[in-house]
Every structure is written in structure tokens, then in C-alpha cells.
Amino acid sequence: MHCRNCGKEIAGAAVFCVGCGSDPRSGNRFCWNCGAESQPVAQVCVQCGVSLAGQRTAEAGAKSRLAAGLLGILLGGLGIHRFYLGYNGIGIAQLALGLGGIFTCGITSLASWLWGLIEGIMILTGSIDKDAQGQRLRD
């Protein structure tokens, strides 16, 4: 694998490039497969023929990590952060648990709020980093 910013060869699981210090998947100047220089808007590498389209980390329209994390911390008991990220089924489950506290003397509401708080923290720390469509969250 090669850094999309500088073209330097890197390990496949690298979270930053030792050559340029940036996220190796966030650039668009080099091919991730062969390291050949490419046009920023190129969909395919002209050197080796691999697809370059799905290699960017924060494409246009990506959801915000900060917004999702804060929604999880502040309104997570109602599943709002899950609806924001497109996980509607889980959002409905959290909403039902949160509102179900009316009938359970708050027990399910407490569980739902703790669930949302923990997920909000996980989103902010990067443990949860993709939305329902598999697109990486932008910083």
C-alpha cells in the first residue's frame, strides 16, 4: 500500500504516513496500490488500473464525527445519533428503550442513556468511524 498524499510505501494498517505525517488514505495525488502519481479527480490509476474512487476518507457529504459524538452524548438515550448516522433500526430500538422508561420506572431509560453516552464517546475517540453506508466520518 502507498500513501495517497506523498506516494511513499506504507503498511496496510498504518493510521499515518511516516513520510508526510498525514492519514495515508485521505489524499488524492498518488495511487494507493502502486504509488504512481495520479490526477486528483481520477477514478482509476493509469499505471496499474485499480479503482481510486473509494479510497478517500472524507468524501463530500460525509457526516461529522463531532456532530455524531455530541448527539450521542447529549441525546443518545433517544437514539438521535444513530438516526443521524443512518442506523435507523438501532435508533428506533434506543428510542423505544428511552421512552419505555415511562412504564419501567426509568430503568430502560437509564440503560438507553448510558448506551448513548458510551457510543457518543466511542464516536469521538474514533472507535466508531463509519456511517450506515460505510463512509468514513469527517473530522
CA–CA separation, 34 and 23 (whole Å)? 17
Segments forming the whole domain that contains residue 92: 65-125
Average pLDDT over residues 79-84: 95
Question: Which of 41, 57, 73 lies at the terminal end of a domain, its last residue?
Answer: 57
Let me know whether 94 and 42 are in one domain: no
The vertex-88 CA angle with 86 and 91, nearest 5°, equals 110
CA–CA separation, 104 and 5 (whole Å)? 54
pTM for this structure?
0.59
1 vs 76, higher pLDDT = 76
Number of domains observed in the structure of the chain: 2
Let me know whether 4 and 53 are in one domain: yes
Percent of the chain with pLDDT over 70: 93
For residue 21, the model assigns a pLDDT of 81
CA–CA separation, 22 and 58 (whole Å)? 13
Question: Is pLDDT at 29 greater than 90 in this prediction?
Answer: no
| 130 inside domain | no
